[in-house]
Amino acid sequence: MGAEYPPVSFHFKVEFNGISSQDKDVHFQSVMGLSVDIETVEFAEGGENRFKHKLPVRSKFPNLVLKRGMVTDSYLIKWCQNAIESFDFQPIDLTVMLLNEKHEPLVTWNVVHAYPVKWNVAELNAEESKVMIETIELAYNYFTLV
């Protein structure tokens, strides 16, 4: 029986439902924001001075931040441009898949009701020879693990 090792974090892809299945729109340098916090409210019980009760209120999800080498002909960027320039927001669902060595999903996050809130490109600098990186930031309602 072979040893079980934790999966590596560098083999993944992102699929945008209804936007694009182009190879250039599924590969990213990094994905950040797959986390959740539970907001709490404190409740002081009468006569109990040692502590306050903390009660769960709701889940809070940060923005999803995707980074990649800049793609000049991208359906994903056209979707972002439509939201940013025309203020026409069309939320979509997307999946982030951590893959094994056979390119099969090990873990899948379904991200629900995502829309762009920020897009930027790296600094233009004539003194450096680096790949132009674009960053796409998406707000979303929540994610589920599959």
- 51 falls within a domain: no
Q: Is 2 part of any domain?
A: no
CA-to-CA separations, 133 to 3, 29, 81, in angstroms, rounded: 37, 9, 17
What is the per-residue pLDDT across 34-55, written as a single tens digit (0 to 9) for each?
999 999 999 998 888 899 999 9
Give the gyration radius of the chain's Cα atoms.
Answer: 20
Establish if 39 belongs to a structural domain. no
Under 8 Å between Cβ of 32 and 108 = no
CATH code for the domain of 106: 2.30.110.20
Which pLDDT band, with edges at 50, 70 and 90, does 21 fall under? low
* 8-state DSSP, 83: H
132 occurs within a structural domain: yes
- The range of the structural domain enclosing residue 116 comes to 12-34+63-145
Mean pLDDT of all residues in 24-31: 87
Answer yes or no: is 106 within a domain: yes
- Share of residues in the chain with pLDDT > 70 (%): 95
Of 59, 38, 67, give the one whose Cα is nearest residue 138. Answer: 67
3-state DSSP assignment of residue 19: coil
52, part of any domain: no
Distance CA 92, CA 94 (A): 7
Q: Considering its fold, how many domains does the chain have in total?
A: 1
The confidence band for 112, taking pLDDT boundaries of 50, 70 and 90, is: very high
**pTM, to two decimals:** 0.84
67-92 average pLDDT score: 92
Please give the structure tokens belonging to residue 51: 């502590």
Is residue 129 situated within a structural domain? yes
In a domain, 4, yes or no: no
CB 133 within 8 A of CB 122: yes
